[in-house]
Structure 1
Amino acid sequence: MIKTTELKINAAKDPRKVRCDALVVAVGQGPDGPKLVDGSLGGKALQALSRSLGVLGITGAADEVRRLPGTDEFHAEVIVLVGIGRLSGAEPAEENLRRAAGSAVRQLRGTGHVALALPAASVRAAAAVAEGAALGAYAYTEHRSAKDAGDVVAAVTVVTPAAGEKSLPAALERAAILGRAVNATRTLVNRPPSHLYPETFAATARDLSKNLPVKLTVLDEEQLAKDGYGGLVGVGKGSSRPPRLVKVEYAPARAKVKLALVGKGITFDSGGLSLKPATGMTTMKCDMAGAAVVLNALLAMAELGLPLKVTAWLCLAENMPSGHAQRPSDVMTIFGGKTVEVLNTDAEGRLVMADGLAAASAEEPDALIDVATLTGAQMVALGSRVSAVMGDDGVRDAVKAAADRAGELFWPMPLPEELRPSLDSQVADLANMGEKFGGMLTAAIFLREFVGESNGRKIPWAHLDIAGPAFNEGAPYGYTPKEGTGVAVRTLVAYAEDVVARAG
């Protein structure tokens, strides 16, 4: 069972009435040097501190956290100055607030109660602070023997003039729900493949779904073979731990819109017989991030009570080499009947996703979104912090807008039609490999082949390639820890909220 972070979040107007272990204040980079951005704070001590920032070597750069002794004016053991970056307007952007709050809470591990006195005058700004705090209060400690390894901040108070507004409690609750969903995703990604494989992933999905209004169905290897899920069966053949397809359904009575989510869940990717080099395997426990994202995004939507029907398809397999593994030149039949020639067994994610997309299409949703750590080409094109979104213009642009609102970095990419002929096969309907250059785009074009129709029209679809941003190999930053990041959960929830708003 996943132990999700249970950060207690409340709000207060007056920081002088908050008893806490640490009081966090923002420092920004102004045109004339560092500037204390104290929100609703005042007091002689802070005024004096503001004049001393340069002498203390404080710059206000993002992720900068400095601790100073507390003062008699505030009931805090320490005053913490957190960098909020460049000041370009009257108020910092919501994402800057998220990152500053997350950075402070992440770096204050071992502190019990933190008051965040950042410049958050509105409900939206206060919610951004709370969300950043929830994302920053994370540690993966399942396999640590030290008892204090996961001593994250337990409670935060958001200091804001909006503390008395009626809409704030719901906004803070939403922040807490999103924090739990993202952190559960991170934990799934961080779990070693010795512990997380298709069967245990399915069991964990069932555990996470408890006490929520969702229905969960698991297809094992025998049922997959019987029903014609050739992608999952083929990819999973080389492993002693067989594949699973997990279907999670949230269907409130008042739903007006039907959304389908498909997630890639390769719990470990060795490359199969097209074996990866040793260094290429070291991060491949993260190849199931897409499935973790769609699962926890759906559960967050259910906990928020959003009035739309959502079905998540978790395509789970382990890609291993053995005498039973699929071979280059093998042909498999995907759910629904299309055949694929396997030219490279390390292009396996698109094969299990093809099954999921075809199965999801059979239920004729109003929109279909898939999420996958699909290609190394994504990192070549966009680096390790910007995800790609491709597909039909309407869904693609709506996902981009939702990501912007959520504070996640996505960039729209094209699907050039001249790449499609490179997927032609001499022996099957198509091959699983195509043009070398633009591999991220070719992979998306392959997936598009398995998106079905509804009422004679192609189902609106978008593909999210999160290969780089799903797993942080560098140092922590902002609210983002090392290893699993949970990227795309907040974007999918924001997208669903936007769909509900448009549906009226």
Structure 2
Amino acid sequence: MSKNESADRTRGPQITLSTSLDSADEALVVGLIAAAPDSDDAPTLLLAADVLDDAQAAAISGALVAVGAGGSHGEVTRIAAPESLGVSVVVAVGLGDEAAVDDAEKVRQAAGVVARELDGFSTVATTLAAAALAPAVEGLFLGAYRFDEFRSAKSEPKKLPPTTIHLLADDTGKAVKADLAHAVAVADAVAIARDFVNTPPSHLYPEEFAERARALGAKAGLKVEILDFASLEKEGYGGIVGVGKGSSRLPRLVRLTHAGKKSAKKVALVGKGITFDTGGISIKPAANMDQMTSDMGGAAAVIASTILASRLELEVTVTATVPMAENMPSGTAQRPGDVLTQYGGTTVEVLNTDAEGRLVLADAIVRACEDEPDYLIDTATLTGAQMVALGTRTPGVMGTDEFRDRVAALSAEVGENAWPMPLPAELRSDLKSRVADLANVTNHRWGGMLSAGLFLKEFVADGVEWAHVDIAGPAFNSGGPWGYTPKGGTGVPVRTIARVLEDIAANG
């Protein structure tokens, strides 16, 4: 795919507001609220006003009860629609008990589940906006996401997800339309990040990644700067050069800027962009190495988030500094025991070439701090220790205490649920090197996520509020789809970053 096609690609269904069913609608999706556990009541349909008349609602409720639909969260049930309705099928998705209607993440998850069940219908209508419009939109959009770019006619799906979803709502006024546009923009940014992560390393290598970022950034009105290998060497980006020089596909550094007004707060974003990670000379085991196509998930997230900041016209200046490299073993690769000089002058003894992410991030963090940001967020698929500590769905967030906790709280609001983690002072001494300012790893396996955070802390300028988000597990789903999360790239932590940027724009 060319860079222009990448910039123009449609990533999800068109979602519009309506007060009634359209003649083009092929299916109606309704929410179903479970009765209380100790009640003999039937589950309740979640409906916008005037969508169904009493007879239609009674017929649908009766049919759902007859086939055993109870409304438990994520339960999907199909029934034939009443002839008078004008659609062929009614699809009910359980929201859980009545309290779940007020739980944005449960609505988002249920919408994602049902969206995956709508393949084969091109146009559908839904009442889920009556629960919570923005979460319903995000769940529907992200649940309908597919990545089929590399499928030929032999394996392309016979049934495609909906191209149009009509939200049936009582109110379609200006404020509701604004909420809809915001939710679609956020979901599309997540899909941009998913697309990057899902693109195989044969097609997404540093130069191509940089060019795709340039095309998307230019389309969004961002200022774009790209440093090639010669420039990186000349300007002293020793971490990026050291990691990337083992590959025939040489590294890049991309800078994308969304400019707010002069008085706006300045936020630096940094994302790890290792387009494929073999581990270098400290080579990884073969099992599951294919999943290292996702090792640029942090870079994908910050690129998408900066584009989103521009689309939402946020009054905050956002600059993404994105190191891109391929970590390969070869005659030109760095060796365990080598010493490199990071951008800014700090020397690092490379004890393990598979701890490469922190080396490219360190260069980018120092460069980002030259802009004197008020806040800095870096994110990376950085350590296997993140998954050992927190599992595959929960990001770990470290940094300056107040900002770390702010990021974690805002992440919980949007359902990405980053968890605050400490940076224990006693682990810092384990990063001492025999010959250089720092070693890139400790000599033990304890607290690996935290040690990586302490390494990065060394490169953050004094006075900058900083958060480091480790997404080693959450950025890539190697199991089956769940909720609105597909197999493969997830787009985490785009929604967290977006929420933090909005909070900074509103509150400083």
Q: Partners of 1:61 and 1:437 in 2: how far apart? A: 41
AA partner of residue 315 (structure 1)? P
SS where residue 291 of structure 1 aligns? helix
Residue 254 of structure 1 deviates from its aligned partner by 5.2
Map 1:44-443 to 2 at 5 A.
44-51=55-62, 53-84=64-95, 86-87=96-97, 89=99, 91-118=101-128, 120=130, 125-146=132-153, 148=157, 151-163=160-172, 165-253=173-261, 256-434=264-442, 435-443=444-452
Q: Partners of 1:334 and 1:247 in 2: how far apart? A: 18
Length-normalised TM-score, structure 1: 0.94
Alpha-carbon contact 1:37-1:119 (below 8 Å) kept? no
Q: Spell out, residue by residue over 1:403-432, the C-alpha distance to the aligned partner (whole angstroms, 9 max, x if none).
A: 122221211111111111110111011100
AA partner of residue 262 (structure 1)? V
Residue 207 of structure 1 deviates from its aligned partner by 1.4
Q: Spell out, residue by residue over 1:295-329, the C-alpha distance to the aligned partner (whole angstroms, 9 max, x if none).
A: 00000110111111000011100001111111111
Residue 499 of structure 1 corresponds to: 504
Q: Spell out, residue by residue over 1:253-311, the C-alpha distance to the aligned partner (whole angstroms, 9 max, x if none).
A: 35511000000000000010111000141200000000000000000110111111000
Q: Partners of 2:339 and 2:26 in 1: how far apart? A: 62
Distance 1:480 1:255, change over 3 A: farther
Q: Partners of 1:407 and 1:132 in 2: how far apart? A: 11
Q: Partners of 1:134 and 1:357 in 2: how far apart? A: 33
AA partner of residue 117 (structure 1)? T
Alpha-carbon contact 1:7-1:176 (below 8 Å) kept? no
Q: Partners of 1:289 and 1:231 in 2: how far apart? A: 19
Q: Partners of 2:330 and 2:196 in 1: how far apart? A: 26
Residue 500 of structure 1 deviates from its aligned partner by 1.0
Residue 447 of structure 1 deviates from its aligned partner by 0.6
AA partner of residue 292 (structure 1)? A
Length-normalised TM-score, structure 2: 0.93
SS where residue 268 of structure 2 aligns? strand
User: Superposition RMSD on alpha carbons, in Å?
Assistant: 1.8
Q: Partners of 1:48 and 1:73 in 2: how far apart? A: 11
| Structure 1 unaligned residues grouped into runs of 5+ | none
Equivalent pairs, count: 493
Distance 1:409 1:90, change over 3 A: closer
Residue 28 of structure 2 corresponds to: 23
Q: Partners of 2:130 and 2:238 in 1: how far apart? A: 52
AA partner of residue 10 (structure 1)? T
Higher deviation after alignment, 54-63 or 265-274: 54-63
Residue 399 of structure 1 deviates from its aligned partner by 1.1
Identity %: 48
Higher deviation after alignment, 132-141 or 31-40: 31-40
Alpha-carbon contact 2:59-2:82 (below 8 Å) kept? no
Residue 48 of structure 1 deviates from its aligned partner by 4.1
SS where residue 135 of structure 1 aligns? helix
Q: Within the alignment, does 1:12 sit opposite 2:21 as a pair?
A: no
Residue 68 of structure 1 deviates from its aligned partner by 1.3
| Structure 2 unaligned residues grouped into runs of 5+ | none
SS where residue 371 of structure 1 aligns? strand
